[in-house]
Amino acid sequence: MGSSTVTSTASRPAGPGRLAELTSWDADWAGLRVVVTGISKTGFSAADTLAELGARVVVVASSDDDDARHAAETLKIVGVEEVILGQDSSILLPLVGGEAPELVVTSPGYKPSHPLLAAAAAAGVSIWGDVELAWRVRTRAGRKTAEWITITGTNGKTTTTTMVEHMLVAAGLRAIAAGNIGTPILDAVRDPEGWDVLAVELSTFQLHFTQSLEPLSSVCLNLAEDHVDWHGSFEAYAADKAKIYANTKVACVYNAEQIETERMVEEAEVREGCRAVGFTTGMPAVSMVGVVEGLIVDRAFIAERKDSAVELAHVSDIADLVPRHLVANAAAAAALVRAYGLTPENVRDGLLAFESGDHRIQPVAKAGGVLWVNDSKATNPHAASASLSAFKPVIWIAGGLSKGVEYDGLVSAHADRLKAVVLIGEDSSALAGALARHAPDVPVIETGRAQTGKEGMVETPIFGDAVMAQAVAAAAGLAADGDTVLMAPASASMDQFSSYAHRGQAFISAVRELLERRASANKES
């Protein structure tokens, strides 16, 4: 399928004036010329919403598989004017009905440097993400207008957002987690009944394309090097994280153990009366939520905060295995919902209902005194550091797609915890180099290749379940009573697995199969 594209400035967009007026569902969206990038969940929901609003929509997507073609047919039925599929189709900015588009709504996977987005910026076309669109259409006559609680951070976003959702539900509120977790934000906003509160997880990809959000409370949980390949630099990544605090109305929640997040709050333009509230895993100061003798306590949202605190929950209410970063997530979630007015009982009941989910510090088995833990969700060094901090001694299964980050700090911080390292990943040379420099005495076993050929002398790469079976077998050969085998890769998964969930499930299956074989062998002997 082809389409005309913007190749000159002869047909210019109408400018930002009309867009500034589009601040509710009931505004005049009719005829607005919009290009939507992507046709997966985010792009589909954006195109569907805009078509329902009466906009003229052209969708472009690099994919051209059966799922994309099916989505394209569905979008045409609901009123999208044109869908252009294929690798080459999303390079140029298309015309909409023969004229330049007035707006591009982009999916998070598109970098700002993407040729289509660069062409839009050069042509003076405004670029929004689906979150910006959702904020602008959230108000609709005859429906509730939900407050937003927004959550970002290098790690812990999904866990904290889920905790917030559980606490809100425990309070009897109609609430849902949305955004970068589960339900696309536009699907949540369009719910016929409406919501009291949305717990909105936001990635930096999404934050980059926002400008109008006014959350009730907001948090950047932590900040560490990640997604440098998308943002271009760590400074750009940090600047997009800091956008979480813009226009916050009641409470900007920051990590009292990481000065960078406090500085974000200090520099943020917020609404009059908004407070800075810290969270910590230690003793809280005034205007903080923290931990005292196994209790999560609040010294921020009580009148007597200068000389007392109120108990919110026991740390043991969170989960059976509670590493420090999970306590931090709970304290942050508590601060966010206390800003909304939830009671201590609501916080406690929400944590009791919370389940951390698969692939996040997930105990898989304990046999022969060895604990096997799956943290496939640890896709960057900061997340892996949190996992490693919880165990000692560790046989560490790590490696994968690095996303341009460095591992020296991670390895040097935890070298004394490492009994051995089993490397996965097509190219884990960066991690291997860091291990050689900072943990030279720690044994390192590389996996991911199998010998083939008649003489077994040719090595070929292996992927998926085969890689993990090899890694688990290597770890098992090194583990002894009292050890933890921790799969916390500190890297993305897409080089050898379809997703972090696939990688985690491969680990679980490999561990269970190994232990079943051992049990069977013991019975036979």
**DSSP 8-state assignment for residue 245:** G
Strand bridging mode 362-367 / 370-374: antiparallel
525 Cβ partners below 8 Å, 6+ apart? none
Q: Quick one: 404 exposed, middle or buried, by C-beta within 10 A (0-12, 13-18, 19+)?
A: middle
Instruction: For residue 243, give the DSSP letter.
Output: G
Q: Determine the 3-state secondary structure of 386 from DSSP.
A: helix
Q: Which of 312, 309, 321 is closest to 284 using CA atoms?
A: 309
Contact between 407 and 489 (Cβ < 8 Å): no
Q: CA-CA distances (angstroms) from residue 257 to 199, 295, 500?
A: 23, 18, 28
Q: 17: annotated binding-site residue?
A: no
Task: Consult the annotation and say whether 156 binds a ligand.
Answer: yes
Of 413, 367, 362, 406, the residue nearest 389 (C-alpha):
413
Cα distance between residue 495 and residue 287, in whole Å = 44
How many whole angstroms separate alpha carbon 439 and alpha carbon 408? 10
Asked whether the beta carbons of 64 and 40 are under 8 A apart, the reply is: no
| 157 labelled ligand-binding | yes
Helix, strand, coil in percent for the chain, rounding step 5: 35, 20, 40
Residues ≥6 apart with Cβ < 8 Å to 272:
none
158 assigned ligand-binding residue: yes
Q: What angle do CA 458, 488, 422 make, to 5 degrees?
A: 35
Whole-Å CA distances, 164 to 160, 193, 309? 6, 21, 21
Residue 155 known to bind ligand: yes
Let me know: does 217 contact 289? Beta carbons within 8 Å. Answer: no
Quick one: tokens of 99? 């004229």
- Calpha distance 225→260 (Å, rounded): 12
* Residue 510 neighbours by CB distance under 10 Å: 24
State the DSSP code for 416.
Answer: G
DSSP for 311-378, written as a single string: EEEEGGGT-SS--HHHHHHHHHHHHHHHHHT--HHHHHHHHHH----TTSSEEEEEETTEEEEE-TT-
Please, are residues 222 and 263 in contact by the beta-carbon 8 Å criterion?
no
* Contacts of 413 by beta carbon, 8 Å cutoff, 6+ apart: 385, 388
Q: What CA–CA distance (Å, rounded) separates 4 from 2?
A: 7
- Cα–Cα distance for residue pair 142/148, rounded to 1 Å: 19
Instruction: List binding-site positions for ATP.
Output: 153-159
Instruction: List binding-site positions.
Output: 153-159
